[in-house]
Amino acid sequence: MGIGRKRGIMRKKEFKKVMTAILAGAMVCSLAACGEPKANGDDKATAAASSEKVEKEEQGTPEEKDLYGFSEPVTVKIGWAESPDFQFREGETPEDNEWVDLYAKHNIFQELIYKVDASQGGAKLANAITSGNYPDIILTQGSEYINYAKTGVIADISDVFEEYASDELREYVESDGGIGMTSAKVDGKLYGIPLLGNSYDAVMMMFIRQDWLDKVGMQVPKTMEELHEVAKAFTEKDPDGNGKNDTYGLALNGKGVFASNGGIQAFFEGYGAMPGYGSSFTFIEKDGEVIWGGAAADEMKAGLTLLHEMYLDGSIAKDFGVMDNDRVTEEFSSGRCGIMFAPMWGAMGPSASVIKSDINAHIIAAQIPDGMGEGSAKPWFTNATSGYYAVSSKCEHPEVLIKLLNLSVDVMCHTESDEEFATYIADSEWKFSLTRTLEPLKNLDNYYKESKALETGDISELNAEQKSDYSRMKAFLETMKTDNPDVENEEVQSGIGLYSVFGDPQGGYAVIDSIIKEDNKNVSAYNAIPTDTMVEKFPTLDKLAMETIVKIITGDAPVDSYDQFLENWYKLGGEGVTAEAQAWYDANQN
């Protein structure tokens, strides 16, 4: 493996395009002032570090700036906060694992100062900061990050990043177009390094039953009017062929409204609007100005008009207003409806479920249909930063944060072998890393390589994870060639879900690939941490928007009432937060 070797000039290889894993817990790390490791340190790792140093000296390696460690030992104090169901490998603990050994090779040693349940991690860190004896490496989010920067809890790392960041770390932070790094700046200074996710994994798309389309003799809808026609046919023409009036067209999440599963915001994306998503305002650029995505009045009212028509003719369930994420999944999985909106994973569970009762069931993905004319549909694309790694202002060696990140990115984003993957990443081993920089675009790489392998049968370019995916998808495809497909088989069930994302030419990631190639997305006009005003005003304004949309769809309020809603939205704080977003946008345009 290349992990322990001397590093000066970085390896020059293509930065892999790969997906983000969803963090299953939070580990708060801390670093004390650098010093000698304690007597109870890892003797094996110390010996490895010494041996490596001697070997370099014997080989006469010229002295270069070490981007991954130190010439003298340093002690890293960490606080462990992890979910109680975290599965350790046999014999491993937070104090003794593969990452502990790896860091020790680079003269970075760990000392565990506390271990708490994940639910107590935030409170433990807050108390430590209040006491003045707090971690030197902090993973923080949102307004807390800004507060830590402005109150001097964390340090300005602008200079140490420029001096110590490896080529691979720079590629990592630029993999989202630099959005995360821009958001990490407070008053023009860099206080943290973004922990990146994959914005494409959150992009909304349409999922639809291809077998139902075949049954009613229709094509995948390209416009919202066509979507209405298809949804109406799914409601009235018995697409499942059971002779019962028990199906309908479009499943909507009327309880979450702007949630991922069945999110109604996706419908409005077809018109070029974006009224909400997640826990912060959705700002877009329109005619050179920043507006809240729900303030595109003409587009919103056009979408609301059609949704109300669909509600009246039964294309949308009458009780959609009480449907949440789970209910939407249940409706689609049970074969009661034929269309839904969701991110790329939307068909994973439903595909595996519907095929049990209908062997011919086939859910495909497509871009959201146009509502205002050709090209009006643009899915929302925003910063997927899930937090920021910062270093305490008390730390004597702030460069240690950058060196830990260099090492983490090198191992996690440039895995060179199955052995390396198995050692440092598989079985949740990546959670022992002090800076968990999983590959931001991992799913995209999985799609390209796994879909190609399914076409050619050549698995030589697949890593361990991709080989596992391939094996399960292949099991599904092979059983479907038999007279009696075993779709209940556990491996096959898993393969069905994976195929809906990575293998199907009309699957989730095939749609993302088309969005990337066409550059067809509505990029957020505000990519910074929410301001205090935004945090304060969001709950009230978001709730008002969701309630208004549902009322208009059901007919409890007329479509034109949306204009009055917008007036109220601005008066209740929308004008102020929009002005703040505009100011940020103006200051950060190239």
Reading the block at residue 362, the tokens are: 């086939």
pLDDT at 363 over 70: yes
Examine the domain organization and report whether 73 and 143 are in the same domain.
yes
Examine the domain organization and report whether 372 and 486 are in the same domain.
yes
**Is residue 590 included in any domain, yes or no?**
no
Average pLDDT over residues 534-539: 92
**Is residue 16 included in any domain, yes or no?**
no
More confident residue, 384 or 130: 130
pLDDT at 20 over 50: no
Q: Cα(424)–Cα(446) distance, rounded to whole angstroms?
A: 19
More confident residue, 385 or 310: 310
β-pairing verdict for 522-523 and 380-381: parallel
Structural domain span for residue 288? 204-378+481-585
Examine the domain organization and report whether 252 and 356 are in the same domain.
yes
Q: Cα(30)–Cα(133) distance, rounded to whole angstroms?
A: 10
Q: Cα(350)–Cα(327) distance, rounded to whole angstroms?
A: 12
Q: Cα(479)–Cα(96) distance, rounded to whole angstroms?
A: 43
Examine the domain organization and report whether 136 and 121 are in the same domain.
yes
pLDDT at 122 over 90: no
Output the pLDDT for position 213.
98
Q: Cα(99)–Cα(101) distance, rounded to whole angstroms?
A: 5
DSSP state of 19: P
**Is residue 8 included in any domain, yes or no?**
no
Average pLDDT over residues 529-550: 93
DSSP string, 192-232: -EE----GGGG--EEEEEHHHHHHHT-----BHHHHHHHHH
pLDDT at 165 over 90: yes
Examine the domain organization and report whether 499 and 575 are in the same domain.
yes
Examine the domain organization and report whether 364 and 228 are in the same domain.
yes
Examine the domain organization and report whether 188 and 212 are in the same domain.
no
**Is residue 458 included in any domain, yes or no?**
no
**Is residue 449 included in any domain, yes or no?**
no
Examine the domain organization and report whether 358 and 238 are in the same domain.
yes
Output the pLDDT for position 79.
79
Using a pLDDT cut of 90, give the percent of the chain over it.
64
Residues 207, 339: contact at Cβ < 8 Å? Answer: yes
Q: Cα(45)–Cα(108) distance, rounded to whole angstroms?
A: 10
Examine the domain organization and report whether 145 and 59 are in the same domain.
yes
Output the pLDDT for position 182.
84
**Is residue 468 included in any domain, yes or no?**
no
Output the pLDDT for position 390.
94
Average pLDDT over residues 355-374: 96
- 154 phi/psi in degrees, rounded to 5: -115, 160
pLDDT at 180 over 80: yes
pLDDT at 255 over 90: yes
Tracing tokens 């050549």 back to the chain, one arrives at: 458
DSSP string, 265-329: HHHHHTTT----BTTB--EEEETTEEEEGGG-HHHHHHHHHHHHHHHHTTSB-TTGGG--HHHHH
pLDDT at 589 over 80: no
Output the pLDDT for position 18.
32
pLDDT at 103 over 70: yes
The mean-pLDDT minimum among 36-40, 122-126, 222-226 falls in 36-40
Residue 243, SS3 per DSSP: coil
**Is residue 223 included in any domain, yes or no?**
yes
Q: Which sign does the torsion angle of CA 222, 227, 233, 238 carry?
A: positive
pLDDT at 514 over 80: yes
Output the pLDDT for position 176.
78
pLDDT at 392 over 70: yes
Q: Give the chain's mean pLDDT.
A: 87
Number of domains in the chain: 2
Examine the domain organization and report whether 193 and 208 are in the same domain.
no
Examine the domain organization and report whether 122 and 68 are in the same domain.
yes
Output the pLDDT for position 385.
77
Output the pLDDT for position 84.
74
Per-residue pLDDT of 267-323, as tens digits, reads: 999 999 999 998 889 999 998 899 999 999 999 999 999 999 999 999 999 999 999
Task: State the pTM of this model.
Answer: 0.77
SS3 string, 88-117, reads CCCCCECCECHHHHHHHHCCEEEEEEEEEE
Rounded to the nearest 10°, the torsion over CA 347, 348, 351, 357 is -130
Average pLDDT over residues 396-422: 89
pLDDT at 42 over 70: no
Q: Cα(172)–Cα(385) distance, rounded to whole angstroms?
A: 12
C-alpha closest to that of 294 among 281, 311, 306: 281
Average pLDDT over residues 75-94: 82
DSSP state of 154: B
Output the pLDDT for position 143.
74
Output the pLDDT for position 590.
58
Q: The CATH number of the domain where 547 resides is what?
A: 3.40.190.10
**Is residue 452 included in any domain, yes or no?**
no
At 407, the amino acid letter reads L
**Residue 254 binned pLDDT confidence (cut-offs 50, 70, 90):** very high
Determine how many CB atoms are found less than 10 A away from the CB of residue 38. Answer: 10
**Residue 117 binned pLDDT confidence (cut-offs 50, 70, 90):** confident
DSSP lists the bridge partners of residue 76 as 110
Examine the domain organization and report whether 72 and 176 are in the same domain.
yes
